[in-house]
Amino acid sequence: MGKALRPKGWVLLAYLLPGLVLYSFVVLIPILAAFRYSFFSWTGGPKKQFIGWENYAEIMRDEVFWRSFLNNVLMTGYGLIGQVGLAFVFALLLMSKLVKWKGLHRTMSYFPSTLAPVIIAFLWMLIYNYNYGMLNSGLKGLGLGSLVQSWLDLTGPIVLLVSIPLSWQNIGFFTLLMLAGLSSINKEVLEVAELDGATGVRKAWYVIIPLAKPTLIVASLLCIANNMRGFEHVYALTGGGPGNASSVMALYAYQSSFLRFRYGYGSALAIAIITLTMLIIWLSTLGLRRRNQEGGVY
């Protein structure tokens, strides 16, 4: 571009500054502040007591925190299957010529993504409800009355039960993401699959998978980031219960700070969550990239 079009440095800075200042104020400064507070024992009053790394040592021993961490990881696993995996299948179906009313499917399946997590949580609370829930009444209708139960009081599968609403809400978004990413795949590949039936599907699979890999990687990373930071669905659906069975890291940090007034510990938890999340995202980037390179060989 010619020199004439280039603004002076200070003009550029003046345009970029408002965004950067606001963003830093809400993202960077709180991280730095949390790091500082994490070395104190502090109940919110004027008195802060410096305790060094004690909060971090406590985190290492804190079973509820690690339980919450595992729940985040478990939710991520369910998310990769229920959001990214299923969305991939639906996207392929939507691209094939077999499926009619594509616009309808796209419009309707994305709609839940536009709703508030709190509303989604209430909706699923009603679905899981013991007396008036759709799930139990459906089971009764199918003659499976013996399976009827108070779903959200189950400790064993509670993380799965919390993950289902998340998948239900996000699958439309991931389907769109896949559709966008896969649009570069030659339509003929899919037609071969349609014409040749089962063998065609298998053939197409080998062609599609390498082509779809970049999209699958982006979707997986987004899904990992979303599930590692989950808070609102869990807060509104179970509050972390029963007991701590469905607690997630952000919810635990919230409860430590705002219900138990342990701001120092809550800040240390914030730093731990950010560190663990970034570590997991980084590791999965490495893992996915390597897989991608291997995939490129054949």
The answer to whether 286 contacts another protein (rule: CB under 8 A) is no
CA distances from 210 to 198, 201, 285, 294 (A): 19, 15, 17, 10
Tokens of 174: 């991931």
Residues 53-82 that bind another protein (CB under 8 A): none
The answer to whether 148 contacts another protein (rule: CB under 8 A) is no
Residues 10-39 that bind another protein (CB under 8 A): 11-12, 15-16, 18-20, 22-23, 25-27, 29-31, 33-34, 37
Helix segments in 83-151, DSSP class H: 86-95, 102-110, 117-128, 134-141
Let me know: does 163 contact 79? Beta carbons within 8 Å: yes
Q: Which is nearer to another protein, 271 or 294 (CB)?
A: 271
Q: Which is nearer to another protein, 104 or 142 (CB)?
A: 104
Residues 207-226 that bind another protein (CB under 8 A): 218, 221-222, 225
Least distance to another protein, CB of residue 233, Å: 10
Let me know: does 80 contact 220? Beta carbons within 8 Å: yes
Q: Which is nearer to another protein, 143 or 156 (CB)?
A: 143
Least distance to another protein, CB of residue 208, Å: 16
The one segment of 58-66, 74-82, 151-159, 164-172 that binds another protein by CB under 8 A = 164-172
- Residue from 154, 160, 176, 189 in contact with another protein (CB under 8 A): 176
In the DSSP assignment, the letter for residue 99 is -
Least distance to another protein, CB of residue 155, Å: 22
Least distance to another protein, CB of residue 246, Å: 15
Least distance to another protein, CB of residue 298, Å: 26
Tokens of 198: 């089962």
Residues 238-257 that bind another protein (CB under 8 A): 249-250, 253-254, 257
Let me know: does 256 contact 240? Beta carbons within 8 Å: no
Tokens of 73: 């990881």
- Residue from 45, 52, 63, 132 in contact with another protein (CB under 8 A): 132
